Structure 1
Amino acid sequence: MLDAGQALEVLLALGQRHDAGADLRVWRTAALLVAELVAGQQLLPALERDGPRLRATWRPRPVPATATRIANLSRAMPALCRAVVQYPAAAPAPRILLDHFLAAGADALVRDLAAADATMAERLARWQAEPQSPGAAWMASLVGPEAQVALQGQTAEELFQAWQEWSGPEHVAGDEVFRIAFRLEPPADPGAPWGLSYLLQAVDDPTILVPAAQIWRERGQTFYYMDRHFTQPQERLLRALAFAARLVPPIEESLHSKAPEQASLTLAQAFVFLKDAAPLLEQSGFGVLVPTWWGGAGRLKARARTQEVRPRTRKRQTNLSFEQMVNFRWELSLGDHPISREEFEQLVALKEPLVQVRGEWIVLDPQQARQALTLFDQGGEMSVAQALRMGLSGESEPLPGGVTFAGIEAEGALGEMLGNLREAHQLEELPQPKALRGELRPYQRRGFSWLHFMRHYGLGACLADDMGLGKSIQAIALLLHERATAPKGGPSLIVCPTSVTGNWQRELTRFSPTLRVLVHQGTERARGDQVATAAARQDVVITSYKLLARDREALTAINWRLAILDEAQNIKNSDTRQAQAARALRAEARIALTGTPVENRLTELWSIMAFLNPGYLGGETDFRRTYARPIERAGDQEAAERLRHLTGPFILRRLKSDPTIINDLPEKIEMKVFVPLTQEQATLYEAAVRDALEQIAVADAEGEELRRRGLVLAMLTRLKQICNHPAHFLKDGSELRGRSGKLERLSEMLEELLAANDRALIFTQFTEMGALLEQYLSQQLLTEPLFLHGGTPARERDRMVRRFQAAEGPPFFILSLKAGGVGLNLTHASHVFHFDRWWNPAVEDQATDRAFRIGQTRNVQVHKFVCGGTLEEKIDAMIEGKRALAAQVLGAGEQWLTELSTAQLRDLVALRREEISE
């Protein structure tokens, strides 16, 4: 059993768990609301009777926005959240249960924070040393470990009564059906008084308003209105008005009437009501209706108008840099009306907080207005990065006099850039490059055009399409377009995980054979100054993140045309050597490709953006304070919206489920995933080949045909196991992480699927490898994969299928190819992984059809893993060459391989060392 503090800690530590049920997600949201209540000081210190003693507690007092979210959460609460009693009728109501959780959680969190504060510990010791002081005793019980107040008898009763008088009567603003509301109405004549009307407002439908005059006409103890009721309406209205009069003195004058319906306010009193009293009344539970212009339309605003960017040289400059400076000046407006300095000085001279300008009421605090006058004398320079931040986010540094920032009006190249960024999704599509072998799908052509659009303005761009939508071919199209439009430009750099360098090389060869490609990898790679010389002869250089960090000095000395980071989440930790090396690259334009721009923390997004557009989001410390902490810890929606406006124009995110995408996709997409062997795998592979070929040669010499076939099959099995993982071959129960190219790549791809809330089937022909995958995924991805193999009982097999097909089922299902290849309906999977190959297309297709079958509503992506440079790649090429006759020519399984001659076998299993990972 957890106490409130422990439950809160567990819920906040969960993060966005993909496998969390609906009830757990509700409670985690509630925990975030607790943190928001405490961080926003939306609490009231309270006292409760506990028999003859008192208990001190913290009660939530949410502001309207938070109160609305709490109400929405209570309505969304599933019945399972209330399944804590034997009989359903005895279950607490959702709102009661949620309110109790929020109160208990907020109280526990305040005490935990106080215990961790050294200054508060000193104060607590002083308060506990004064047990007879009511104030000290109450404070000690509010922040100390014990909630019970160390007071008894008359002293305790006097403290309780004083607290009641201070906090106001319970439900003074109303109840769960109606609440007392105030409506401020400006006069038609600027010199006339303002009216503050008294109303009843329905809590569930704020548009239902009942004037106070109708209340005074009632004679019964209960007021009925549209199936709603309000007990003792007249008495409660008077009590509420007496309470509100503390905040709005003119209300007290209206109470001299037998049936008060409204109060009259001077212009100055109306301004004080709007500025100070209205928020306090709302926090106390009252309804407040104010003129629409108070929300911002009628306030003093300032717009920054920039002038043309000064070029660094006399030559025409096509791209802007974030460091360039622009001149700007401030322009002021009242509401939607621009105003000159002379007009503004005349209004300031009136010294009125509310003024009428061209028939509209405008807020003009006299003291702030005098400060705002200084904006006419301000201006100067700002960087392009600052102008973009202000223009896209709609925010600036605080302006004098509380002036509202109204955006930027930019001229020239900056204005064109800002305008196009806001309308980037309406950009003109480019035709695909003529040199591209293959056809871009419509959404891929849009993505390629967007990358070029961002490149044109010198802006870094993040292509964040779902896995399988073809990020690489869109980048290749851009590389071809670059060479076609500016053939004399320098080389481009592609940085990717070691596990996919072979994939990139093959994709470039397949789709753009005219591009000259260099793979900067292996012990024979160029070093030092030779790197620049070798790169200058190429169109594209491919390297890995590890080598980017290791060869940083050589790679960052080159002026690259494009710097493309594939699987850009590899630089999510900004202080790693590879992230620092990536930011140090010199390039005309930068591109990040990733399906998961944010996996766990928002600082990962900052790290990627710091590579794409250095300085745009400011420093990491400021980013944490302004965005990461408010959003992650308190669920700050306003901060999240600001961040979305800032980063949205630089990120193109498309999901497979998007209507514009899903219609472009075939029903089944098959792709090869080429991965390198690790050094350990390569050593084991060559040793196994050497020993097996020696034994096969002996069997050849002795004419033992049957024994030879057995040796060939045994060799193939051992090599497959080595390609899978050294621990699979050695069977020694050793560490799994970092030793297999296949397993590392599978882990990377499954992490992306988790972020997208997708599900996958993972096939292997080895039960032992399935067990290793189950162990690894459980440890590394903190998930619970299912594992079905030949030894699984029929009843357990059916249970697994039902679990996976359930709405909240596990994300991954590992299956041995023989046990899971037929007879199953697993349509909740949209991805199929063949971790190792059966080398028979019909068998693989049959396994794939566990997901790609009637009942499947999504496109299925099939990923076939191949270790580059090994027999797996060579056999795959043989299969592809004979695929049309595969069933007849290749037969079932691997028996056809035993018919190869020893020379053919030696060529088949020979390892290409250049494919080995460093």
Structure 2
Amino acid sequence: MNRPSHSTPAPSSDTLAPALFVSPSGRFHLDPGTGEAVASLPPRIHAAFERDALAGLLQLGASELATPLPPSLAFGRELAHLFMARLCATPDLAAQWDSLELAAPQAELARLLAGMPPMVGAEYVDLACLSTLWDDLLGQARAQIALSDGDVAAWLAHQHPSWNLLGRVCFHLAENKANPDVPFAFLATYAATVSQQAKVQHLPLGRALQEYAGEANSEALLRLLMPVHKASEQCPWLAALVASGAIFHARAWSPREAHQFLQNVPLFEANGIVVRIPDWWRPSQPVRPQVRVNLGEKAAGLGLGAMLDFNVSYALGEETLSDAEWAELRAAGSGLVRLKGRWVEVDQARLDTVLAHWKQVQRGIDDGGDGVSFLEGMRLLAGVGAEGAASPALDAAGADWSRVVAGDWLRGVLDELTDPARAGRLEDAARPGAELKAQLRPYQQDGVRWLYLLNRLGLGGCLADDMGLGKTVQVLALLLLAKRGGDPGPHLLVLPASLIGNWQAEMARFAPGLTVLVAHPSALPSKALAALPAERYGEVDVVLTSYGSLTRLPALRETRWSIVVLDEAQAIKNPGAQQTRAVKQLHSRVRFALSGTPVENHLGDLWSLFDFICPGLLGGAKAFGAFVKRLEQGEHAAYAPLRNLVRPYILRRLKSDKRIIADLPDKTEVKAYCALSHAQVGLYQAAVQALQEQLGALDGIARRGMVLASLMRFKQICNHPAQWSGDGDYAPEGSGKFARLREIAEEIAARQEKVLVFTQFQEMTAPLHDFLRTVFGRAGLVLHGATPVKARKNLVEQFQQESGPPFFVLSIKAGGTGLNLTAASHVIHFDRWWNPAVENQASDRAYRIGQKKNVLVHKFICRGTIEEKIDALIEAKQGLSNEILEGGAETRLTEMSNDELIRMVSLDIHSAALEK
């Protein structure tokens, strides 16, 4: 089993534990772990997953019922165990097997989904995915039973004794409305025969003593009663029924006895006993009266400082109980109580504890007079305590007897945040109009509404759309809306240095009405930048800076910003890093983060991110760390409250979502601007000087040859100094392109997507492969002119497999035509051919018939170099006849005058230099 792709280099530690992960197609797989950690799972589990992922899940759910498992595998077991329980609850399973249809239980699957623990690829899992998996598990069970000669009983017995048909004892509980003193009836039966109509016929369990009388049948009787015996070992009152023989006769039961039975239903089912109970009782969610806390019927103020009103009432389901009905409950005692025409479960001690707790909270709020803080209210609403863990005042059992609900104001806000399409009343206010020089797609309009609402409320958020879905243009629309709405800024955008050029170009293209200052050495000399007064920042709408510059320019941290936006916000995932601390020192009204990686699936990263966008929401670092540790040790029920807590502040759309992809063009091209390292700057300037010195001494063919050689040298220097020097030292820090490649590849790896990387130089294919291997944590493929023709088909087949290599490095001459590589949804042109037709042919290895995903093409361009100027030249000629560039841009450059050529190749040092 290949390890899934990760967004960071493969760790050298030998403690990486086994875990489930989900591929982009929605299939579950096992990452077996590394080193000694592999042994933390029994070999039989590894063996099952090596046969097939579905076989592995069935192994977990059918056979590993008591095996300690890490959270992701425990989730897989719970899912498969639900499948097995529903399968074995089918009456006369063996007789119906050939025609069996087992519908996926949507409510139960939704419950599982809500509590899904973090795992790689969790963003691909939804109800449709789990429903498909349910059907696949049935198919896997059919295949396994076919290998057992179709013997369902033998297969179940092989999985675990609890699934075997010998456990066909059934406990029945029914209402007996004729007798109010003993309003319930209990009967134990067994499946005696199967009728000609394939219906199971039940007989009282007492008949089994007659049916299996005699020494010859004692073993059969023992098999039949074994589940009852096993359950009685854990249930004293059942043991008493068995010992007295009362289990073999019908019994009239009081509400107390019926309640005692209902509380033990999970125990009976776990031991293989079939249970039939009234449909008003759900073992996982019994009907109970609850103390209901209503938060945010109205609010005082906005943002993190808003105060929410707080009211305590009583409820039964969605129905409010009057004081008189609550008093009636209190008088009825504990157990099953008849209320408003139905039986409900009452635990007076727990209700009293819960009520006292919330009354104490309400008294404290009334004394303060202002209500509950917005952050505390959100934690209470999600079921998470003040320090990011379950409320210390209420244990899990007590919490089941109370419910916190959102009032009208808060519910309206949360509905709009969790589903921006609902924010219809913001439709006009959240449209940037003609100021934005772009046509927003529907999902982008939803994103702008979401950002606009958070900004208006004074709350932060994380826009976590997939790469290529247009996070930049949505943020620009927000900034234009803020300017139109009277918010003069200034606003701050903090980016990786390699993205400053991209943002400058996008702002000039889509939002030319915004005034911009670039606080970075690529735009201003370092000394001038350091001397820039803080007042200067207030004279523009937007300031662009890098994470590195933020640590070096105190004025940025002293300025009061209106909106601060972090791009590639995973840069602050390490709370102790210098740039993270600098970012969190910023003063702003609202904070947003942009990230294309699934931050909600990495709890440590999640805390650091929310400590920036919504400080205090997840509590302190120490308390949250303890909370995570408890989750990892088995308190999995807290995953759902945590997800509910952060959900309103994360907006994530995937390219794989059909509602999104249907609206996207088939192929999107973006320019990935790169800076130069200091070594590249020195080599490039020396190459310009050498060209200038030689131009005057040559003409004709000699001049043309010298120019072409110089252009090749510029390309090689822009790629990596080692390509020009030939010394083989391809250290990543030596090249700005490698830095940009890492940023893009990490996001692709985190999404478990695949990428084609094209270069025109065969000698670059191996260094690129070795570098990408550290990013993806596994090897990729390489194809160039020296690759044997017979080997190419095998390389393509490997790449096209879902579990195949995640990246493919190709020379553009050898791999630019004739290959079908639709497994890739990204194409990177590491260096440019300077001929659009050739590049398009290469991109079309992924964008062709059979491609079901949007293809994102990244074209690398070094700022301030000939690469940027040639790109501008090509752009200017795109509307003209293709023949103009048919010979390639190199040919046109050789025809320029000496002065024109030097201007074309000269280096803009401020724009090109690589700074953090």
Q: TM-score range by the shorter chain?
A: 0.7 to 0.9
SS in 2 for 1:541: strand
- CA 463–195 in structure 1, closer or farther in 2 if over 3 Å, else same: same
Describe the superposition over 1:702-726 as per-residue Cα deviations: whole angstroms up to 9, x where unpaired.
xx42222222111111111111112
In 1, distance between residues paired with 2:696 and 2:152? 77
Residue 493 of structure 1: CA displacement? 0.7
Q: 1:861 — aligned with what?
A: 856
1:667 and 2:678 aligned: no
Contact persistence 1:216–1:259 (CA under 8 A):
no
Residue 742 of structure 1: CA displacement? 1.2
Describe the superposition over 1:860-894 as per-residue Cα deviations: whole angstroms up to 9, x where unpaired.
22211110110111111111111244642233342
Describe the superposition over 1:605-631 as per-residue Cα deviations: whole angstroms up to 9, x where unpaired.
222222111111222333344357636
Of 62-71 and 530-539, more deviation after overlay is shown by: 62-71
In 2, distance between residues paired with 1:735 and 1:769? 10
- CA 411–265 in structure 1, closer or farther in 2 if over 3 Å, else same: closer
Give the alignment partner of residue 745 of structure 1, picking from 727, 740, 747. Answer: 740
Q: 1:194 — aligned with what?
A: 184
Contact persistence 2:733–2:739 (CA under 8 A):
yes
Q: 1:536 — aligned with what?
A: 538
Contact persistence 2:463–2:593 (CA under 8 A):
yes
1:184 and 2:212 aligned: no
For structure 2, list consecutive stretches of 5 or more residues without a partner in the other structure: 1-12, 43-62, 69-73, 85-132, 193-197, 366-371
Residue 201 of structure 1: CA displacement? 7.7
SS in 1 for 2:598: coil
Q: 1:570 — aligned with what?
A: 571
- CA 385–35 in structure 1, closer or farther in 2 if over 3 Å, else same: farther
Contact persistence 1:19–1:810 (CA under 8 A):
no
In 2, distance between residues paired with 1:310 and 1:444? 29
Describe the superposition over 1:758-800 as per-residue Cα deviations: whole angstroms up to 9, x where unpaired.
2222111111111210111112321322111111111112221
Describe the superposition over 1:222-255 as per-residue Cα deviations: whole angstroms up to 9, x where unpaired.
9xxxxxxx99765544555455455243664577
Of 233-242 and 724-733, more deviation after overlay is shown by: 233-242
1:914 and 2:910 aligned: yes
Contact persistence 1:341–1:376 (CA under 8 A):
no
Residue 549 of structure 1: CA displacement? 2.6
1:216 and 2:199 aligned: no
- CA 266–34 in structure 1, closer or farther in 2 if over 3 Å, else same: farther
User: What does 1:750-789 correspond to in 2, within 5 Å?
Assistant: 750-789=745-784
Contact persistence 2:607–2:621 (CA under 8 A):
yes
SS in 1 for 2:708: helix
Of 835-844 and 729-738, more deviation after overlay is shown by: 729-738
Q: 1:427 — aligned with what?
A: 423
Q: 1:682 — aligned with what?
A: 681
1:12 and 2:2 aligned: no
1:356 and 2:343 aligned: no
- CA 95–679 in structure 1, closer or farther in 2 if over 3 Å, else same: farther
1:621 and 2:604 aligned: no
Contact persistence 2:591–2:612 (CA under 8 A):
yes
- CA 307–566 in structure 1, closer or farther in 2 if over 3 Å, else same: closer
SS in 2 for 1:25: strand
For structure 1, list consecutive stretches of 5 or more residues without a partner in the other structure: 1-7, 38-57, 103-169, 223-229, 312-316
Contact persistence 2:489–2:561 (CA under 8 A):
yes
Describe the superposition over 1:432-490 as per-residue Cα deviations: whole angstroms up to 9, x where unpaired.
4321122222222221122112212222121111111111011111111111121x522
What amino acid maps onto 2:259 in structure 1? Answer: F
What amino acid maps onto 1:449 in structure 2? Answer: R
SS in 2 for 1:698: coil
Residue 816 of structure 1: CA displacement? 0.7
Contact persistence 1:432–1:445 (CA under 8 A):
no
Q: 1:558 — aligned with what?
A: 559
Of 836-845 and 642-651, more deviation after overlay is shown by: 642-651
User: What does 1:220-619 correspond to in 2, within 5 Å?
Assistant: 234-238=221-225, 240-242=227-229, 244-245=231-232, 247-249=235-237, 252-253=240-241, 260-275=248-263, 277-291=264-278, 292-293=280-281, 295=283, 296-306=285-295, 311=300, 317=301, 319-321=302-304, 323-339=305-321, 344-345=326-327, 347-375=329-357, 377-378=359-360, 379=362, 380-381=364-365, 382-392=372-382, 397=391, 398-399=393-394, 402=398, 404=400, 406-409=402-405, 414=410, 416-421=412-417, 423-428=419-424, 429=427, 430-486=430-486, 489-522=488-521, 523-524=525-526, 530-551=532-553, 553-598=554-599, 601-619=602-620
- CA 657–253 in structure 1, closer or farther in 2 if over 3 Å, else same: closer
- CA 669–91 in structure 1, closer or farther in 2 if over 3 Å, else same: farther
Residue 184 of structure 1: CA displacement? 3.3
Residue 340 of structure 1: CA displacement? 5.0
Contact persistence 1:670–1:862 (CA under 8 A):
yes
Contact persistence 1:466–1:595 (CA under 8 A):
yes
Residue 498 of structure 1: CA displacement? 0.7
What amino acid maps onto 2:237 in structure 1? Answer: P
1:25 and 2:30 aligned: yes
- CA 95–531 in structure 1, closer or farther in 2 if over 3 Å, else same: farther
Q: 2:725 — aligned with what?
A: 730
User: What does 1:29-48 correspond to in 2, within 5 Å?
Assistant: none
- CA 681–181 in structure 1, closer or farther in 2 if over 3 Å, else same: farther
TM-score for the superposition, normalised by structure 1: 0.77
Q: 1:69 — aligned with what?
A: 80
In 2, distance between residues paired with 1:78 and 1:289? 24
In 2, distance between residues paired with 1:873 and 1:307? 54
Q: 1:841 — aligned with what?
A: 836
What amino acid maps onto 1:773 in structure 2? Answer: L
What amino acid maps onto 1:384 in structure 2? Answer: F
Contact persistence 2:231–2:271 (CA under 8 A):
no
Structure scoring higher RCO (CA < 8 A, sep ≥ 6) equals 2
TM-score for the superposition, normalised by structure 2: 0.77
In 2, distance between residues paired with 1:286 and 1:412? 46
Of 90-99 and 508-517, more deviation after overlay is shown by: 90-99
Contact persistence 1:201–1:287 (CA under 8 A):
no
Q: 2:805 — aligned with what?
A: 810
What amino acid maps onto 2:496 in structure 1? Answer: P
In 1, distance between residues paired with 2:545 and 2:476? 16
Residue 333 of structure 1: CA displacement? 2.9
Residue 271 of structure 1: CA displacement? 3.4
Residue 89 of structure 1: CA displacement? 7.5
- CA 394–19 in structure 1, closer or farther in 2 if over 3 Å, else same: closer
What amino acid maps onto 1:840 in structure 2? Answer: N
In 2, distance between residues paired with 1:333 and 1:80? 44
Q: RMSD in angstroms over aligned alpha carbons?
A: 4.3
Count of aligned pairs between the two proteins = 789
Contact persistence 1:190–1:356 (CA under 8 A):
no
Of 746-755 and 906-915, more deviation after overlay is shown by: 746-755
What amino acid maps onto 2:353 in structure 1? Answer: Q
- CA 600–776 in structure 1, closer or farther in 2 if over 3 Å, else same: farther
Describe the superposition over 1:844-866 as per-residue Cα deviations: whole angstroms up to 9, x where unpaired.
12222222223333332221111
SS in 1 for 2:706: helix
Residue 661 of structure 1: CA displacement? 1.6
Contact persistence 1:62–1:283 (CA under 8 A):
no
- CA 403–880 in structure 1, closer or farther in 2 if over 3 Å, else same: closer
Describe the superposition over 1:162-221 as per-residue Cα deviations: whole angstroms up to 9, x where unpaired.
xxxxxxxx95x672464433233354344216333224489xxxx997644288289766
In 1, distance between residues paired with 2:153 and 2:868? 61
Contact persistence 1:432–1:440 (CA under 8 A):
no
Residue 731 of structure 1: CA displacement? 1.8
SS in 2 for 1:762: strand
What amino acid maps onto 1:249 in structure 2? Answer: W
What amino acid maps onto 2:188 in structure 1? Answer: Y
Of 595-604 and 610-619, more deviation after overlay is shown by: 595-604
